Structure 1
Amino acid sequence: MIYVLIERRIAEGMATTYDESARDMLQQTYAVPGFISGEAYEDMADNNHRFLLCKWRTSRDWQKWLHSAERAELINRFAPILQEPEKITLLAV
C-alpha cells in the first residue's frame, strides 16, 4: 500500500471553483482500480494551498491512473485555476 500526497496552489479567488472540481474528481477516482481512499486538506494559514492525501493498493495502480487519459482530462479542468503545476509525493507505509 502507498500514499500519494498531491499539493496544489490555487489562483486567488478560485477556491470555490477548485473545491467543486476537486470534489468531482475525487468521486470519480473511487471507481479506479487500486484506489482505496482520499482526503482533502486546506492549509490553515493559506486557503489557496491545498493537499489531497490518497491511499492506493500499489504503486503500479497509482502510476496507471497518473498516466491515464481519464486523469489527464480531469486534471485539465484545474489548469486554469492553479498558480503552478501540482506537486506529487509518493509515501511508503
Structure 2
Amino acid sequence: MIRVLIERHIAETLESAYEERARRVLQQAVGASGFISGETLIDSLDPNHRITLANWRSEADWDRWYHSEDRKDLMTELVPMMDRDEHITVLQQSAV
C-alpha cells in the first residue's frame, strides 16, 4: 500500500465552489481500481490550504488514476480555483 499526499491552495472566496468540485474528484477516485480510502483535511493555520491523504493499493494504481482522462477532466474545473500548483507526494511505508 502507498499513501498519496495532495496539497492544494485555494484562491480567496472560492472555498465553497472548490469543495463541491473536490468532492466529485474524490467520488470518482473511490471507483478507481486500487483506491482504498481517502480523507481531506484543512490546515488549521491556513483555511485555504487543503491536504488530501489517499491510500492506494500500489503506485501503479495511483499512476493509472493520476493519468486518467476522468481525473484530467475533473482537474480542469479545480485548477482555476487554486492560486498555486497542486503538490503531490507519494509515500511508502518505511522498513523500520
Counterpart CA distance in 1 for 2:78 and 2:85 is: 9
Structure 1 segments unaligned to the other structure (5+ residues): none
In the comparison of the two structures, how many residue pairs are matched?
A: 93
Q: Hey, what's the Cα distance between the residues in 2 that align with 1:70 and 1:20?
A: 16
Report whether the alignment pairs 1:53 with 2:53. yes
Distance 1:23 1:64 in 2: 20
Could you state the TM-score of these two structures normalised by the residue count of structure 1?
Answer: 0.96
Structure with bigger gyration radius: 2
CA displacement 1:3-38 (0-9 Å, x = unmatched): 000000000011111111111111111110000011
Q: How far, CA to CA, are the matches of 2:57 and 2:5 in structure 1?
A: 14
Instruction: Provide the residue aligned with 1:13 in structure 2.
Output: 13
The 2-side partners of 1:72 and 1:29 are apart by: 12
Residue type of the alignment partner of 1:33: S
Show the counterpart of 1:41. Answer: 41
Percent identical: 46
CA RMSD of aligned residues (A): 0.7
Q: Which runs of 5+ in 2 are unaligned?
A: none
Structure 2 length normalisation: TM-score? 0.94
